[in-house]
Chains A and B, each alone.
Chain A
Amino acid sequence: MKITLRVFRFDPSVDEAPYYRNYSVEAEPYERVLDCLNKIKWEQDGTLAYRMSCAHGVCGSDAMKINGRCALACQKLVRDCEADLILVEPLPTFTILKDLIVDLNPFFDKVNFIHPFLFAGTPPKKERLQSPEERKKMGESIRCILCACCTAACPVVNENDKFLGPAPLVQAFRRIFDSRDTQKVERLDQLNVDDGVWACLNHFECTRVCPKEIPVTKYINTMKREIKKMLGPSQE
């Protein structure tokens, strides 16, 4: 079938303003939006810039806005896009570097801020024990691929760039509910600030867009409750 992709174009060093360009491509219904972008770049216009790597939703490179919603281009199929015009734009919130490529450094800085590694004492000779029930408490947080869809889609992040944002909070959740981590209190304390968990206003956009189906908002609320429980009711 023939479809049209309407693609956001902008090179800040050359263009005065962003513009959109329409590309017509032949695509099978089972093909991915990423396949369509590749056809454009390889067959029509090699100047188009976007990130990609694994092409099956495990590396997190090709997050962008597709028909107004943040998603991975390799997980969105042509048949899932209802209209035969697909609008492709960069992730919102972040600074555009070129076309569909945005500056994710501020995003990764916030991920690093929550210390995305295990704090634990001297380990035993073999593995540390962790019951299947304890292991389950990390839930789906281990599915996060740092694609930034959730953070880009968050209405709060859009207005307040100091808010840690959903993805760093998912990363924090993973460590807070890892029974092996010894810094649970310190980690909760770090999130117990205006721009930490409390900035989340339950818009649920993060949950709606997460390509790995992580219940992000639920996890943020779980951490809010955990903070109240551990640090006392006066802390809210």
Chain B
Amino acid sequence: MELQFDALVVGSGLAGLRAALEIPEGFKVGLVSKVFPTRSHSGAAQGGIGAALSNEEPDSWEWHMFDTVKGGDYLTDQDAAETLAMDAARAVYELEHMGVPFNRTAEGRIAQRAFGGHTRNFGEGPVKRSCYAADRTGRVVLDTLFGKALEKGIHIFSEVYMIDLIIEKGHAAGIVTYDLATGALHTVKAKAVLIATGGFGRVYKTNSNCFSNTGDGVYLCYRNGVPLEDMEFVQFHPTGIYPLGVLVSEAARGEGGVLKNGLGFRFMPDYAPTLKDLAPRDVVSRAIDTEIRQGRGVNGKDYVHLDLTGLGADKIEEKLSDISSFARIYLGLDSATQPIPVTPTCHYMMGGIPTDLNGRVLGKNGTPIPGLYAAGEAACVSVHGANRLGTNSLLDLVVFGRRAGMAIAQDEKSLHFSDVSRDVVKELTSKINAIKRSKGPKPANLRARMRQIMTDCCSVFRNNDDMVKGLEEIRSIKEQYRSVSIDNKAEKFNTDLLDAIELESLLGLAETILVSAIVRTESRGAHYREDYPERDDHNWLKHTMVTAGADGLEISFKPVKITKFEPKARTF
């Protein structure tokens, strides 16, 4: 590939594509992705994108902002929530203008449906805010933005992996790429690097994430001294198909589906009397795991039922056809007449690379690192706080992806190319050769153990003792990883090698999740501590920052931005 770009975007999901589209003509933009762009995991998003369009019933952006803050258990930075909610309608209209085939109302407007945690009038009851295209909203938005990128003629490099990030004298200088097809390493210089590499749900055993979601960009920032924010906040989506973890969108409940335990009892009204099955995800996941722990799983197993049988075959076909095909293909059941077995599945990382409202990555002292930007699940604005609401992810990607692209243009004068002082390609060649020569453990074994440990000690319920023990084990695996070995010594399409390299990212990030989760001795949003079951605003209304220091991981804190909504008890 070419070796110099004004701006390099890493990751071709919605955040990366939207950012790349925003960077003006005149900038030479390169888009690097380890998969072909339309394979990106944004395409797996099902339920919709949130915006108070009021197409189906009255709605307002203030209600949306409030829901985002309360859904995030008041850890959400309120300036970010305001930006998100205020910009939502524009962002959705823009997607429609670009060609997204949204479902429509009888009047021809964008159709909307109810979704978890989205309410009218500051929590009175569910509101139809999710703009959707059947149950494949992410898919069609991804197709649409990719089409726009083709139309704009953006240079796209598929199956090219960012193996290192280069920061010189505090300024982003470029990346090192590993070409999957050939095994070649290249130093690619850039004035601006935008990290949009997505999440890292693959640190957990049961998850809804694709195999590519290994958090490479987040880890490389961390390895380069960037602090990571709120890493303990890991979202478990309530309804992963048992036992595969494949996602069933909240849209299934938005359209009228209900959860039932092994006794056939609809349990969500006991946990969330107002929103019931449409409470935020952390609340519903805890309710499901509580039912299972108290022996009310279905047939004594670790799952409950998602019952769509009241919806009728026509509604399922029109609005939830992918979900019904998942149930048919993977479980051999007809969701119109039989309930779907579901259990919480790791879905989304609220934490990540800290940025300002314009995608500028914030370094250790809280000021931007020139030339380094981040957007999407890799970033932590923080707009989702301690728990993200459904439909706010796609919105985050296009709102903050666009803003990051705009920021690169605004910062143009202060950005510059840097000389790369180290021979990074030589360093990485030695590292790869060492992995190829090693006789140590295989990545798959280490990875399987890591996933099991993280699932056992740091899922929906957590406590100090289990996490401390888990952290020791993760550190022992990190130690064993130093001599990781692979079977495949070849150059071309060596995914064995890629597995080994990605595992370094996953292990590093698993450690940051545990360290942050052990420190936070309260329960908030998705972080629920059995030993500290209450939210503690007096001590913990602050963001956790974890930095790779010379003597190990360092923890610091950052205040939460509170503007319109003072923290209140969080009931649904």
Identify the A interface with B (CB < 8 A).
11, 13-14, 30, 41-43, 45-47, 49-50, 52-61, 75, 77, 97-99, 101, 104, 108, 112, 115-118, 120, 123, 125-132, 134-135, 138, 142-143, 145-146, 174, 178, 180-181, 213
Contacts and interface: CB of A to CB of B under 8 A. Distances in A.
Interface stretch (B38-46, B281-289, B375-383, B407-415): B38-46
Interface in B424-448: 442-444
B534 to A, nearest CB: 38
Contact of A59 (B92, B102, B210, B444): B210
Given A42-B442, A104-B36, A120 B139 contact: no
Given A46-B486, A117-B151, A129-B107, A61 B99 contact: no
Contacts, number: 162
Interface in B514-532: none
B496 A53 contact: no
28 contacts: A41-B444, A41-B496, A46-B496, A53-B211, A53-B212, A54-B43, A54-B44, A56-B44, A56-B326, A57-B325, A58-B44, A59-B43, A61-B35, A61-B36, A75-B329, A97-B181, A101-B493, A116-B150, A117-B99, A117-B150, A118-B144, A123-B93, A129-B108, A131-B106, A132-B103, A132-B105, A135-B101, A142-B143
A125 B93 contact: yes
A98 B97 contact: no
Contact of B147 (A55, A59, A118, A213): A118
Query: What band does the interface of chain B fall in when counting residues whose beta carbon is under 8 Å from A?
Result: 35 or more
Contact of B493 (A54, A55, A98, A132): A98
B249 to A, nearest CB: 12
B146 to A, nearest CB: 8
B298 interface: no
B136 interface: yes
A127 B39 contact: no
Interface in B88-137: 92-93, 96-99, 101-110, 133-134, 136
B17 to A, nearest CB: 12
Q: Closest 6 CB pairs between A and B?
A: A46-B487, A118-B99, A117-B147, A42-B444, A129-B108, A46-B496
Contact of B492 (A11, A54, A57, A115): A11
Contacts of A55: 210-211, 246
Contacts of B330: 30, 56, 77
A83 B373 CA distance: 52
Given A116-B150, A117-B150, A49 B99 contact: no
B101 A112 contact: no
A131 B111 CA distance: 11
A219 to B, nearest CB: 15
B495 interface: yes
A53 B103 CA distance: 27
A180 B325 contact: no
Given A112-B150, A125-B93, A57 B329 contact: yes
B453 interface: no
Contacts of B496: 41, 46-47
A120 B104 contact: no
A118 B100 CA distance: 9
A145 B36 contact: no
B495 A49 contact: yes
B43 A116 contact: no
B244 interface: yes
A53 B96 contact: no
Nearest to B485: A46
B456 interface: no
A132 B98 CA distance: 18
B322 interface: yes
B44 A59 contact: yes
A56 B147 contact: no
Contact of B490 (A42, A47, A118, A128): A47
Contacts of A143: 136, 139, 322
Interface in B204-263: 210-212, 243-244, 246-247
B99 A60 contact: no
Given A117-B144, A138-B101, A45 B35 contact: no
B556 interface: no
B140 interface: yes
B338 interface: no
Contact of B39 (A30, A61, A131): A61
A118 B108 contact: no
A13 B444 CA distance: 27
A135 B104 contact: yes
B56 to A, nearest CB: 13
Nearest to B100: A118
Nearest to A14: B490
Contact of B35 (A46, A59, A112): A59
Nearest to B105: A132
A61 B40 CA distance: 10
Contacts of B571: none
A60 B490 contact: no
B488 A47 contact: yes
A135 B331 CA distance: 31
